[in-house]
Amino acid sequence: MRIRYVDAFTDRPFAGNPAAVVLLDGGGFPPDDALQRLAAEVNLSETAFAHRLPEHAEADWALRWFTPTTEVRLCGHATLATAHVLRTATGRSGPVRFATLSGVLGAEARDDGSVVLDFPTAPLRPAELPEAARAALGTPVLSVHHTGENVGDLLVEVTDEACVRALDPDLGQLARLRGRGVIVTARAAEDAAGHDYVSRCFFPAVGIAEDPVTGSAHTALAPFWSQRLGRNSLTGLQASARTGLVRTEVRGDRTLLRGSAVTVIEGDLLVPLAG
């Protein structure tokens, strides 16, 4: 089998969010512990495993995602990376459907190299931020929302873009939160060019100190900012060190995420996953 490293939500290498993609032979997944061991060995924020489904199944491929420490219910950048690999490595064109823990997800690779993901919109509800987490962030908080079961984060709005960029949180304190972690966001600065809002994502509880560009988080960020800015189509900048842009469009209970991807490493997997 081949293993490919893909930088997602970017059109240039060594930016965006890297994911490993493994297209599996056969019609099923190896044992969970084998998948988790490989994800830990790869040590990227996500490793995606996919296998083809029978012709009349509800989807075209089954897809799962693992961080270095656990399986997750939803991952945007590794789904984008998988759709990119299907186009570049197998020549598949047109839309593809993935059967996942979050239901059937759609992806379509476009001729310009971008990929459009069709994901469920995160259901936002007001929440309380524990005092320890508030202290760990070290910046004034305007609002807090829970993002639902699939995303599993707290969405924390702060005062401005400069606050988001300057964050240096206490990751040990954030690791004690229930769920995956914290999405911190603010409206773009008045002189910002090319984006409407900014975010950063901290997930130490699942082995990711700061995720570079988080597609799943944008299923919550998109409805949050669309309601405030009065537009369904927006562009989010994730202001990590690697940075990345996610173009979003809210369509009721579905959110479209659009971004590009670049394959940077490709090689052979020498160890049998079932071993």
Q: Do residues 1 and 269 lie in contact, with contact meaning Cβ atoms separated by under 8 Å?
A: yes
d(C-alpha 222, C-alpha 86), whole Å = 27
Extract the tokens encoding 13. 């290498």
Token pair in block for residue 89: 């490595």
Q: Is the dihedral of CA 106, 20, 234, 177 positive or negative?
A: positive
Q: 46, 157, 161, 210: which is the annotated catalytic residue?
A: 46
Q: 74 near 101, Cβ under 8 Å?
A: yes
CB 73 within 8 A of CB 150: yes
- The b-or-e profile of 212-226 (16+ CB within 10 A means b, else e) is bbbbbbbbbbbbbbb
Assess contact for 187 and 199: CB atoms under 8 A.
no
Catalytic residue flag (residue 46): yes
Residues known to be catalytic: 46
